[in-house]
């Protein structure tokens, strides 16, 4: 028994040393095992007085995958058989099929079952065939090392040769771990769970550009590391998928920019002159948002409405042409205000709040004289007569006649009835000339006291004034005055002269 234990320890150490050498070799699906066996021929054959004996097993295992494998165990041991007072040495070799459950390559516990056929040789030439059936557990101890416990029932073709075997031992898997079975050991495989290629350290690289698919932004097209695996045909550092000009090297989204203004030539209206993006690459020296080529004042900020020229008052007329640059005006008045909109600037408009054609004033009667200068704005007249109609000759004659025809009681201011008809004619004249006013001037001869004559002349003028008012003439259009004997028109030394000097003059005038 001591020899068997010593042999088992030696085999384990040998497997460990050989495993360290195997670490340097290619990954393998093979393994070797060593077990200490406990052999029972009594229990399966209903024999109570047979003791359990020991044995040693060395086996070779090969796994087709994580679930199916085969094994060839070689066993040496001692069998305590029926009707034999001496234990017998036995040697056996089996061929078995193993079914195991391994959830992952690094599962800590791997259960399995097995079955197969074996040949057992006894020293007494009692050779027999046996069918082993059993189950076991592999318990991970290290990267390639497993502890093992296994039990099996062996059916023999000879009587009293059925037996139970319990094994406890060690399993060593050759080579390094390779979970994805891509031929690259897990400790050297950057993608141990995904099959890859050696050039990519075990990771997949579908396009073969040396950049693993997980890091390759263009995994189906060969590219360069600087662009995370994407191609760059023109070599400008912009991936073809992001390059708007993939066949021309450039700096703006992969497109050329000759003037280096940040606007690609294909979108630059001024590709040879640096400009701004807002103007499609064209320059704007004054920064007013209008291209210099279209800016009439490229060095002074302006507005689009004035073609880039300044317009402080915002009236649409550039300051250089605006006579009133700080007051909004109109084009007709060269930028100056025109409240009534008649085309005459307020500063030059004599009637800034009323539209008119003459210096900005209206001409209501259309006689060519503005209302402001027209004394008869509602009646067409002569410009030379302040816009009023000229007094007709026949009217002048009536007024001349009235001067002599209006009569009073001698020495008094009482009108004689013969004067009424004459005064009524004057009323008619005042109606014909509504824009005229009239002055009534009384005169006397030199007979009598001068002061009395002055008073008499005033009273006679006033009497005519009162009569005209009584006939509906507005007092605002009338005035009266007495001149006494101060303004004779004839010789007071003669009777005819004194008669002519006693008069009342009716003078029409324009206010």
CA-based diameter of the chain, in Å?
211
Does 435 fall in a domain? yes
405 and 356 in one domain?
A: no
pLDDT per residue over 387-401, tens digit each? 899 999 999 999 999
Mean pLDDT of 299-320: 90
What is the model's pLDDT at position 175? 66
137 and 12 in one domain?
A: yes
pLDDT per residue over 214-233, tens digit each? 888 999 999 999 999 999 99
What is the model's pLDDT at position 8? 40
Domain ends where: 149, 173, 197?
173
Mean pLDDT of 73-83: 91
Does 94 fall in a domain? yes
Does 253 fall in a domain? no
**Of residues 174 and 2, which shows the higher confidence score?**
174
How much of the chain, in percent, has pLDDT values that exceed 70? 93
352 and 425 in one domain?
A: no
Q: How far is CA 441 from CA 447, 483, 498, 501, in A?
A: 19, 7, 17, 12
64 and 8 in one domain?
A: yes
10 Å CB burial of residue 308 (0-12, 13-18, 19+) is: buried
115 and 93 in one domain?
A: yes
What is the model's pLDDT at position 174? 87
Mean pLDDT of 304-327: 91
What is the model's pLDDT at position 400? 94
Q: How far apart are CA 310 and CA 504, in angstroms?
A: 71
Residue 369 gets which letter from DSSP?
Answer: S
Mean pLDDT of the chain: 88
Model confidence at 200: pLDDT above 70? yes
Does 487 fall in a domain? yes
Does 300 fall in a domain? yes
344 and 445 in one domain?
A: no
Domain ends where: 316, 350, 384?
384
What is the model's pLDDT at position 23? 38
What is the model's pLDDT at position 14? 39
77 and 35 in one domain?
A: yes
The CATH number assigned to the domain holding 428 equals 3.30.1330.60
In which band, very low, low, confident or very high, does the pLDDT at 102 lie, cut at 50, 70 and 90? confident
Does 466 fall in a domain? yes
Domain of residue 53, residue span: 2-173
Q: How far apart are CA 464 and CA 415, in angstroms?
A: 8
The CATH number assigned to the domain holding 50 equals 2.40.160.20
Q: How far apart are CA 493 and CA 81, in angstroms?
A: 204
Based on C-alpha coordinates, what's the Rg of the chain?
70
In which band, very low, low, confident or very high, does the pLDDT at 349 lie, cut at 50, 70 and 90? confident
CA distance between the termini of the chain? 161
Count of domains for the chain:
4
**Of the segments 34-38, 140-144, 185-189, 372-376, which one has the largest average pLDDT value?**
34-38
**Of residues 201 and 233, which shows the higher confidence score?**
233
In which band, very low, low, confident or very high, does the pLDDT at 49 lie, cut at 50, 70 and 90? confident
Model confidence at 131: pLDDT above 90? yes
**Of residues 26 and 374, which shows the higher confidence score?**
374
Question: Which residue is it, tokens 């141990």?
Answer: 192
pLDDT per residue over 246-295, tens digit each? 999 999 999 999 998 999 999 999 999 999 999 999 999 999 999 999 99
Name which of 158-162, 245-249, 370-374 the model is least confident about.
370-374
Model confidence at 25: pLDDT above 90? no
Q: How far apart are CA 220 and CA 205, in angstroms?
A: 9
Model confidence at 3: pLDDT above 80? no
Does 274 fall in a domain? no
157 and 120 in one domain?
A: yes
3-state secondary structure at position 57 = strand
pLDDT per residue over 171-186, tens digit each? 999 866 667 777 777 7
Q: How far apart are CA 196 and CA 186, in angstroms?
A: 11
79 and 25 in one domain?
A: yes
What is the model's pLDDT at position 84? 76
Strands 437-443 and 478-482: parallel
What is the model's pLDDT at position 449? 93
pLDDT per residue over 450-482, tens digit each? 999 999 999 999 999 999 999 999 999 999 999
Nearest to 438 by CA among 468, 405, 404, 400: 468
What is the model's pLDDT at position 373? 85
What is the model's pLDDT at position 2? 43
370 and 305 in one domain?
A: no
144 and 6 in one domain?
A: yes
Would you state the torsion angle of the CA atoms of residues 17, 21, 27, 31, taken in this order, to the nearest 10 degrees?
A: -30
Q: How far apart are CA 382 and CA 229, in angstroms?
A: 100
488 and 361 in one domain?
A: no
In which band, very low, low, confident or very high, does the pLDDT at 16 lie, cut at 50, 70 and 90? very low
Does 213 fall in a domain? no
Q: How far apart are CA 500 and CA 147, in angstroms?
A: 168
């Amino acid at each position: 028994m001591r020899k068997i234990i010593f042999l088992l320890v030696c085999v384990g150490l040998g497997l460990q040393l050989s495993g360290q050498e195997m670490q340097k070799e290619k990954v393998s699906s093979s393994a070797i095992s060593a077990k200490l066996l406990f052999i029972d021929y009594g229990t399966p054959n209903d024999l109570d007085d047979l003791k359990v004996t020991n044995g040693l097993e060395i086996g070779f295992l090969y796994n087709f995958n994580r679930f199916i494998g085969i094994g060839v165990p070689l066993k040496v041991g001692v069998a305590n058989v029926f009707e034999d007072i001496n234990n017998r040495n036995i040697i056996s070799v089996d061929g078995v099929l193993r079914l195991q459950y391994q959830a992952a390559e690094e599962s800590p516990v791997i259960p399995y079952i097995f079955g197969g056929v074996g040949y057992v040789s006894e020293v007494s030439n009692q050779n027999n065939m046996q069918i082993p059936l059993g189950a076991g557990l592999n318990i991970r101890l290290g990267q390639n090392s497993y502890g093992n416990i296994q039990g099996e029932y062996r059916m023999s073709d000879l009587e009293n040769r059925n037996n139970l075997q319990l094994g406890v031992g060690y399993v060593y898997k050759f080579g390094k771990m390779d979970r994805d079975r891509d031929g690259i050991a897990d400790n050297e495989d950057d993608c141990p769970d995904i099959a890859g290629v050696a050039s990519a350290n075990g990771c997949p690289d579908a396009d073969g550009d040396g950049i693993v698919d997980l890091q390759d932004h263009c995994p189906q097209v060969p590219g360069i590391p600087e662009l995370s695996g994407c191609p760059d045909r023109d070599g400008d550092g912009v991936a073809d998928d992001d390059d708007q000009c993939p066949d021309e090297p450039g700096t703006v989204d992969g497109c050329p920019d000759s003037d280096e203004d940040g606007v690609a030539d294909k979108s630059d209206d001024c590709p040879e002159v640096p400009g701004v993006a807002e103007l499609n690459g064209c320059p704007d020296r004054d920064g007013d948002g209008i291209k210099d080529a279209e800016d009439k004042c490229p060095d002074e900020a302006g507005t689009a409405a004035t073609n880039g020229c300044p317009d402080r008052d915002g009236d649409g007329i550039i300051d250089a042409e605006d006579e009133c640059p700080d007051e909004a005006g109109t084009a007709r008045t060269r930028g100056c205000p025109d409240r009534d909109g008649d085309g005459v600037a307020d500063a030059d408009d004599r009637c800034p709040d009323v539209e008119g054609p003459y210096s900005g004033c209206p001409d209501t009667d259309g006689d060519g004289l503005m209302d402001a200068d027209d004394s008869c704005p509602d009646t067409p007249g002569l410009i030379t007569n302040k816009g009023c109609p000229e007094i007709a000759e026949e009217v002048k004659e009536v007024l001349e006649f009235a001067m002599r025809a209006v009569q009073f009681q001698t020495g008094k201011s009482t009108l004689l009835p013969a004067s009424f008809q004459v005064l009524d004619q004057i009323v008619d004249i005042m109606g014909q000339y509504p824009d005229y006013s009239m002055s009534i001037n009384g005169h006397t001869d030199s007979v009598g006291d001068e002061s009395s004559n002055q008073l008499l002349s005033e009273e006679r003028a006033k009497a005519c004034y009162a009569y005209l008012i009584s006939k509906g003439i507005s007092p605002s259009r009338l005035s009266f005055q007495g001149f006494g004997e101060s303004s004779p028109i004839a010789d007071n030394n003669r009777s005819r002269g004194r008669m002519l000097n006693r008069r009342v003059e009716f003078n029409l005038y324009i206010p």
